[in-house]
Structure 1
Amino acid sequence: MKNPFKKYSLPVTLFISFIAISAVLIALLGATSYYITTREVVDETISSRVLLLGEINKQIDYQLQAIEYDALVVASNPTIRQYLEEPEQSFDRIRQNDEVIDLLSRYSYVKHAIHSVQLYANNSTGNVYRGANGIFSRAFIDHSPTYPEIEHTDAAWLGTHALEVGDYLSMPEPVISYYRKVWSASGKELGILVFNMKLASMNELISADAVDGSRYVVDARQRLIVEAHPAGAEAPDYETIRSDLATTLQDRSVDHRVTVHEDGKQLLIWREQPRTQWVVMDRIPWDRITEGSRQIQQTIVLTIVLCVLLAIGMAWLLAGQFAVPIRRLVRVMAKLKGGKMDSRVANEYENEFGYLNQHFNTMADEIEGLIRQVNLENQQKREAELKVLQEQMNPHFLYNTLDTMNWHAISIGATEISHMLSLLGKMMRIGLSSGKAFITVAAEAEHLGCYVELQKIRCKGRIDFRIDIDESLQPYAIPKITLQPLVENAIIHGFHSRREGRIVITGRQQGELMKLSVQDNGYGFSPDNRRDSSSQHGLHNVRERIRLYYGPQYGLDIQSEPNVSTVVTLTLPLVRESGDDRRLQEGEESDHD
Structure 2
Amino acid sequence: MRLPAISWRQKVILTSLLCLVLPSVITLVLTADYTKNELKNKAVAKAEQSLEVADLYESNIMRDMINAFNSIQYDSEMITDLRVAWNMHKTDPSGSVDLLSFKKITERLERIQFFGGKTYVTILLPNELYFSNYSTYKNNLSFLYNEPWLKSLAREPVNTTRWLGTQKNYVRADADSAPRVVTIIRTFQIYAKGVNAYIILSKPEEQFRQVFSQYASDQVMMLLDADGTIISHTQPDQIGKAVNPVPQDESYATVRQNGKGYIAVSHPLKFAGWSMRSLTPYENVTSKIGNLFNYVFILQFVFFFLFSVVLLYFLGQWTLPIMKLARTASKVEKGFLEERSKVRGSDEVGHLGLAFDKMLDRVKEMIRQVETEQNRKRMAELELLQAQMNPHFLFNTLNSIRLRAILKGEHEIGEIIGSLSTVLRMTINRNNEFVPLHEEAETARHYMDLVNFRHHEGVELKVNLASDTLLELIPRFTLQPLIENAYIHGLQQKNGEIAVSAWKSSSFLYIEVMDNGVGIAEDKLADIRSGAPISGIGLKNVKERLQIIYGDLFVMEMDGAPGKGVAITLKIPLNGREEQAHVSSHAGG
- TM-score range with shorter-chain normalisation? 0.3 to 0.5
TM-score of the aligned structures, taking structure 2 as reference length: 0.38
TM-score of the aligned structures, taking structure 1 as reference length: 0.38
